[in-house]
Structure 1
Amino acid sequence: FPTMALETHGVPQLELESVIGFNGRVFSGLRVHPDREHLIYPLGCTVILKRIKDGKQEFLQGHTNNVSCIAVSKHGSYIASGQVNYMGFKATVIIWDYAQRTIYAQLLLHKAKVEALAFSPNDKYLVSLGGQDDGSIVVWNIETKQAICGSPASAHSAGHCLTVQYSNTNDNIFVSAGSGTLRVWELDLVNRKIRPTECQTGKLKRIVKCISEDDQFIYCGTTSGDIMKINLKTGLLGECGPVKTKYSLGVSVLRILKSGNLLVGSGSGTFTLCSSTNFKTIKEVQLEKGVTSIALRGEGQQFFVGTEAAQMYRFNYEDHKAELISTSHNSAVKDVVICFGTSELFATCSEEDIRLWHIDKPKELLRITVPNMTCNSLDFMADGHSIISGENQGEISVRVWELQPRGHRLLETMKEHKATVTCIKIKSDDKECVTASSDGACIIWDIVRFVSLQMVIANTLFRTLCYHPEEYQIITSGTDRKVSYWDVYDGCAIRELEGSQSGAINGLHISQDGKHFVTGGDDKLVKVWDYMEGVVTHIGIAHGGSITSIRLCSNNKTLISTSADGAILRWKFPHPLSS
């Protein structure tokens, strides 16, 4: 990552204040720390610690690419996180010191991806599983920070291991499972070897997605939608069920409770409490999209569930009712806009929906859903009562929405662009707006009469633009990595800056006093610029995906950036308005 290192060298860093987002696609990515006070989960290349009581967040930053798996040690001293990397590069495992919130060790052996991690019950060892391009299991000594031994995860090349689980009481026993492989491993520390025993499932051929065990039995959730119960000592299959009603889209996550009952999450969003003897459902609830995480708090009287819809739910064991505690986008956030003059509300759009948020509390206030439509860009009218959005539905259009006390109403649709409308900015008098498009044109519109006034054309796919506060200039950027200043009246280029050394610039916004502007793009860096000098003053490093949009609130206190992994990040802006 030499380009990032070069661009950030010697430049002051932005302070990250809060994050809206949860990568619900990381299996077992949501955890509760043994202190019972914090949720732990990944987003992009950051591991987030969120206090359950008041939502206060802390951030563990050190990964260079998206976090792919996470584990918390039984006594809570350590957190481990693994990442993905580009083909041909090794993927890092980081062990974090929980008390200090610092990196304890960085382990580098696996190729391209770390698939899964598990701590031994007494915090002595960590077992790591490489992804499909690696296929190995490694046992690490946490005290020495060195690998003890390793082995191919599967007995044959056709097998692909997907998950590992340590014994609850024995530091020398763990289980691995996946497609064509289910093994119990014993660590021989003296000879620095791990020795596998193949589990015997007879004629039953299953792909195991998840495992949970109670030191007598291994419970294996399968992509076929049933659960296999295997004797840990003998490795023999005991039972398999449910027989009649299997879990739709497979069993994706399992947890065994002290009572002996199982919590089961399926790929279709069904979440059940069932018996571990006959797999009969005791309680059931349907959640939005597939269940990917079940995290027990303490003995399991309370538990948290994460889904592919990037939502978190809280449950109590007694009533098994879902309380939605966190929502976020589960796909790329295309645009963000802060309500003019208030600095309290902001809106984001992603795929089929537009969401309204409170800036200080990461809580969703309103959602506009437009089926079969992709919303790429949006802006508030200055009065705060209307949102304007750019959308695709076979044809390219710019739409004006009126916000009403109990909903919203479409006012007008305008068509002239030949390709995706990537950005919209409204003039302060609410009479004009300018749109950028990947057709190589920026159009200035009259939004009283709903007609086009002026067009700017350049040899780039425009991704973003904004008016200078005095509104005699617009600033644009896009795939050519340049930041360009233009005259509004005649469409002439005034100035051009080198905006990024790698990748397109997708988001751009300017401060109310016109002294600074901010950019973000495919290089995953948030940059703060001096408008007159044309130089970078600060850089923000935390996004795991390409930055899609960026906004600065009118009081110059807060900067919000969004990215392709669904994250919304709030930063402290380093240049407050002078009084």
Structure 2
Amino acid sequence: MAGGSEEKQMQLELESVIGFNGHVPSGLISHPDREHLIYPLGCTIIIYNLNRRKQQFLHGHTNNISCFTASKSGKYLASGQVTYMGFKADILMWDYNKRECCGKLTLHKVKVEALAFSPNDKYLVSLGGQDDGSIVLWNVLTKEPICGSPASSLNAGHALTVTFSNNSDDVFITGGNGTLRVWEVDLANRKLRPTECQMGQLKRVVTCLAVAEDDSCFYCGTSTGDVLKINTRTKLLNSYGPQKKKFSLGVTTLRLLKTGEILIGSGDGKLSLCIEPDYKELNRVQLQGAITSITLRGQGHQFFVGTSKAQIYRFNYPEFKQELVASCHSEAINDIAFPFATAELFATCSKNDIRVWHTVSHEELLRITVPNMTCNAIEFMRDGKSIISAWNDGKIRAFTPESGRLLYEIVNAHSMGVTAIATMSNCKRIVSGGGEGQVRVWELGKDSQHLVESMKEHKSAVICIRLRSNNKECVTASSDGTCIIWDLERFVRKQMILDNTLFRCVCYHPEEFQIITSGTDRKIVYWEVFDGSPIRGVEGSMSGSINGMDISDNGSHFVTGGNDKLIKVWDYNDGEVTYVGIGHSGNINQLKISPLSKYIISVSNDGAILCWKYPYPV
């Protein structure tokens, strides 16, 4: 295989993860040991120790996790994934204490919609997605399927959610689009026997379920924004409400408390503490993003809430005030930057905001928000006094790293948005690239910023700019299939590199006599800076473009990441892969080796930030 033989490749060690997939329904789980929060991100499950603030990871899925659950005892976890049309979607069962996979269950097609364990860890029930439509009962001990059935009747829509009763291993409930059923397990005949719940004229899409402690009744949250109460024994609608003031954008999750009150999360981000029969609000808090998970710690004296905007909040029941436990970008992350000579902090940018993170504790230290705009690139000024950022509205904005205060903005820097940026080591100039293909140099005065020169040779967006250490030369990569080496004293082109690719990334070797490039053709090519001639090329990826590249301070190794979702560490001289990092589930947009070569930080389309241990001693 080109790009390094399989035998020599070793696994890159994942140090920490910043991110939470808030789109998995009830994906945030407080473990019964009360010490850990468990949640999915991409194809990884994260076990987070609340007291020690340490993370552990469960790897095994080949694609995004679509549903996640834990058994009542906490002994087992189960997670289902999505796959592609025509393929089977796996369910992985995990032994929590051993922190390892203990079973792979494969029957459903395309997507696993929902999972639930029976109260005594005897069975696992799984629900297939829209393209599958079946429900399967599994034996937890043998990991074998016991029986299956279509999840809903022919004229009903597909089922979306499943939950077991609290006291019986033989009764579970499914709900979905026009379907609500109570199922009984007939083990002797290996059959699942469903009974439709009678709701009269009421037509609802059931999005979430909660069963009363004594199993006498259960509650269904609906996309209409009301809650149905069903008698488990008679399968009849008992009541529903609120009649008038429904929950905006639907009830997305609900939890019953020992006090008899109900916690209701809605699509507009409101968390409400309600009481029956009319679901009157006793308390209410507005959070960021649709509420997708509510999980109780212990008896519910404390609980955690997860939202679609990748936020995790902690609540104490008596005060009912939120405390942000973890947050991350919920949109694609476009760039990452370290301050000069320190690996303690780094910054990332996305739609609407720039965030500064503490590398070790992965706490968010600062958030700079520019509503409805997308930040394409960021760079710390060498003196550490400002963060320079490139935005899609054509502006270059500079902020202070401590407070996030706007220092200055250069308006109309580029007519089709600013797509790339680099700063000179003397802190006196900025080089920017735009969507229209121009490369511009800006002089930074004490109170003003002015354009020094505009260089027009690229025909398409400038994606990447790298400066030489003496500030007299830079190289720009563009999606027009060219890389240009510029003279920054005379503002003319020195060399043009042409290739049959849309260039996505370029790097100078630290000795600055060679550059390496890559892009949509998946090849990594070494070039001579002096005359722009190609030295050699290696196959960089088996699938998808390479979007990010960075080289170590000593030039012995470089890292790449792209649409194959893999981090690869390369030996520069041999042109071979030595380490591979598996963990991202979205396309990798950018990655950087930290100063002093301690970490590799990679960012992706799904808003995840992964921190890897750099595998070589400095």
State the TM-score, normalizing by the size of structure 2. 0.88
1:158-198 Cα shifts (integer Å, max 9, x gaps):
41100001101111000000001000000011111110010
| Counterpart amino acid of residue 196 in structure 1 | P
2:224 is equivalent to residue 183 of structure 1: no
Please give the alpha-carbon distance, in whole angstroms, between the structure 1 residues aligned to 2:473 and 2:70: 53
Specify the SS of the correspondent of 1:169. Answer: coil
Tell me which moved more, 344-353 or 486-495: 486-495
Contact in 1 for aligned 2:485/2:494 (Cα 8 Å)? yes
Please give the alpha-carbon distance, in whole angstroms, between the structure 2 residues aligned to 1:294 and 1:479: 42
CA gap 1:346/1:445 in 2 versus in 1, 3 angstroms: farther
Contact in 1 for aligned 2:78/2:92 (Cα 8 Å)? yes
Q: Report what 2:250 is aligned to.
A: 250
Shift of 1:353: 1.7
CA gap 1:398/1:550 in 2 versus in 1, 3 angstroms: farther
1:246-287 Cα shifts (integer Å, max 9, x gaps):
111101001111111111110110111101322111110000
| Counterpart amino acid of residue 589 in structure 2 | T
Shift of 1:120: 0.3
Shift of 1:435: 3.9
Q: Report what 2:377 is aligned to.
A: 377
CA gap 1:33/1:429 in 2 versus in 1, 3 angstroms: farther
| Counterpart amino acid of residue 245 in structure 2 | T
Aligned partner (choices 397, 400, 405) of residue 403 of structure 1: 400
Please give the alpha-carbon distance, in whole angstroms, between the structure 2 residues aligned to 1:270 and 1:433: 50
2:130 is equivalent to residue 89 of structure 1: no
Q: Report what 1:460 is aligned to.
A: 501
| Counterpart amino acid of residue 199 in structure 1 | C
Please give the alpha-carbon distance, in whole angstroms, between the structure 1 residues aligned to 2:303 and 2:471: 48
Specify the SS of the correspondent of 1:555. Answer: helix
Shift of 1:496: 1.8
1:550-569 Cα shifts (integer Å, max 9, x gaps):
11112122111112221111
Aligned partner (choices 523, 531, 534) of residue 482 of structure 1: 523
CA gap 1:405/1:107 in 2 versus in 1, 3 angstroms: closer
Please give the alpha-carbon distance, in whole angstroms, between the structure 2 residues aligned to 1:190 and 1:95: 25
Specify the SS of the correspondent of 1:374. Answer: strand
| Equivalences for residues 175-574 of structure 1 within 5 A | 175-214=173-212, 215-393=215-393, 397=394, 399=396, 401-403=398-400, 405-406=402-403, 407-412=405-410, 413=413, 414=432, 415=434, 417=437, 419-428=460-469, 434-443=475-484, 456-488=497-529, 490-574=531-615
1:389-418 Cα shifts (integer Å, max 9, x gaps):
34333xxx5836253653133454354515
CA gap 1:450/1:331 in 2 versus in 1, 3 angstroms: farther
Shift of 1:144: 1.4
Contact in 1 for aligned 2:5/2:577 (Cα 8 Å)? no
Shift of 1:22: 0.4
Please give the alpha-carbon distance, in whole angstroms, between the structure 2 residues aligned to 1:166 and 1:85: 26
CA gap 1:496/1:296 in 2 versus in 1, 3 angstroms: same
| Counterpart amino acid of residue 113 in structure 1 | K
Contact in 1 for aligned 2:182/2:197 (Cα 8 Å)? yes
Please give the alpha-carbon distance, in whole angstroms, between the structure 2 residues aligned to 1:362 and 1:447: 38
Shift of 1:386: 3.1
2:126 is equivalent to residue 140 of structure 1: no
Q: Report what 2:445 is aligned to.
A: none
| Counterpart amino acid of residue 28 in structure 1 | S
| Counterpart amino acid of residue 400 in structure 2 | L
Q: How many residues align?
A: 572
Contact in 1 for aligned 2:5/2:576 (Cα 8 Å)? no
1:285-310 Cα shifts (integer Å, max 9, x gaps):
00011001101100111000000110
Shift of 1:431: 6.7
Q: Report what 2:617 is aligned to.
A: 576
| Counterpart amino acid of residue 367 in structure 2 | R
| Counterpart amino acid of residue 514 in structure 1 | G
CA gap 1:446/1:165 in 2 versus in 1, 3 angstroms: farther
Q: Report what 2:419 is aligned to.
A: none
Please give the alpha-carbon distance, in whole angstroms, between the structure 2 residues aligned to 1:433 and 1:290: 45
Tell me which moved more, 524-533 or 465-474: 465-474
Contact in 2 for aligned 1:379/1:425 (Cα 8 Å)? no
CA gap 1:517/1:44 in 2 versus in 1, 3 angstroms: same
CA gap 1:180/1:398 in 2 versus in 1, 3 angstroms: same
Shift of 1:41: 0.3
CA gap 1:276/1:465 in 2 versus in 1, 3 angstroms: farther
Contact in 2 for aligned 1:388/1:398 (Cα 8 Å)? no
Please give the alpha-carbon distance, in whole angstroms, between the structure 2 residues aligned to 1:291 and 1:82: 21
Please give the alpha-carbon distance, in whole angstroms, between the structure 2 residues aligned to 1:48 and 1:235: 38
CA gap 1:8/1:178 in 2 versus in 1, 3 angstroms: farther
Q: Report what 1:20 is aligned to.
A: 18
| Counterpart amino acid of residue 173 in structure 2 | V
Contact in 2 for aligned 1:334/1:377 (Cα 8 Å)? yes
Shift of 1:119: 0.4
Aligned partner (choices 40, 43, 46) of residue 42 of structure 1: 40
Shift of 1:536: 0.9
Contact in 2 for aligned 1:377/1:421 (Cα 8 Å)? no
State the TM-score, normalizing by the size of structure 1. 0.94
Q: Report what 1:72 is aligned to.
A: 70
Shift of 1:440: 2.8
Please give the alpha-carbon distance, in whole angstroms, between the structure 1 residues aligned to 2:535 and 2:323: 54
CA gap 1:288/1:429 in 2 versus in 1, 3 angstroms: farther
Please give the alpha-carbon distance, in whole angstroms, between the structure 1 residues aligned to 2:319 and 2:270: 16
Please give the alpha-carbon distance, in whole angstroms, between the structure 2 residues aligned to 1:235 and 1:390: 58
Tell me which moved more, 342-351 or 41-50: 342-351
Specify the SS of the correspondent of 2:372. Answer: coil
| Counterpart amino acid of residue 535 in structure 1 | E
What runs of 5+ residues in structure 2 fail to find an aligned partner?
414-431, 438-458
What runs of 5+ residues in structure 1 fail to find an aligned partner?
none
Shift of 1:465: 1.9
